[in-house]
Amino acid sequence: MAQEILRSHFAHLYPITTRWHDNDVYGHVNNVVYYSFFDTSANRFLIEECGLRIETSPVIAYVVASQCEYYSPVAYPGNIEVGFRVKKLGNRSVSYEFGVFSQKEQACALGAFTHVFVERESGRSVSIPEEIKSQLLKAIVPIV
């Protein structure tokens, strides 16, 4: 872990309850499950702040790349918070960054993924709609 990653580095904090079967056979939340935390947090932002309607919006977002570094384990039944911020905003895509926080001040994991916006019908890449873009802009957190 090269640097300190704190809750204050993120634009939003989303609480997530862990589940019995998030833990794998080694007793910690499985590495795969962290990506569901990221997916859940970014889409919650898109739904709550940007007006995305999962069922009907003509423009939706697909994940084209994702990554995660795991620093210290978390485990059910402990609950977590996921920090969310926009890392890089392009014309047709956006990259988010996520911090997974358990009880400690420091993040347990740092993740990221990139959303490309597409027409639901055609799957073709399109510009990020203005009302979404303006909200994404507000979630950029300058790292001091």
Residues of this chain that bind a second copy (CB under 8 A): 15-21, 23-27, 30-33, 35-37, 39-40, 43-44, 47-48, 54-55, 60, 62-70, 76-77, 113, 120
The b-or-e profile of 39-53 (16+ CB within 10 A means b, else e) is eebbbbbbeebbebe
Q: How far is the CB of 144 from a second copy (least distance, A)?
A: 25
Q: How far is the CB of 71 from a second copy (least distance, A)?
A: 8
| 3-state DSSP assignment of residue 33 | helix
Q: Which of 128, 13, 27 has the alpha carbon at shortest distance from 73?
A: 27
Judged by beta carbon, residue 10 or residue 14, the one nearer a second copy is 14
Q: Which of 31, 29, 61 has the alpha carbon at shortest distance from 44?
A: 61
Q: How far is the CB of 68 from a second copy (least distance, A)?
A: 5
For the record, the structure tokens of 24 come out as: 């794998």
Judged by beta carbon, residue 139 or residue 144, the one nearer a second copy is 139
Judged by beta carbon, residue 32 or residue 144, the one nearer a second copy is 32
Q: How far is the CB of 87 from a second copy (least distance, A)?
A: 15
Q: Is the peptide bond before 58 cis (omega within 30 degrees of 0)?
A: no
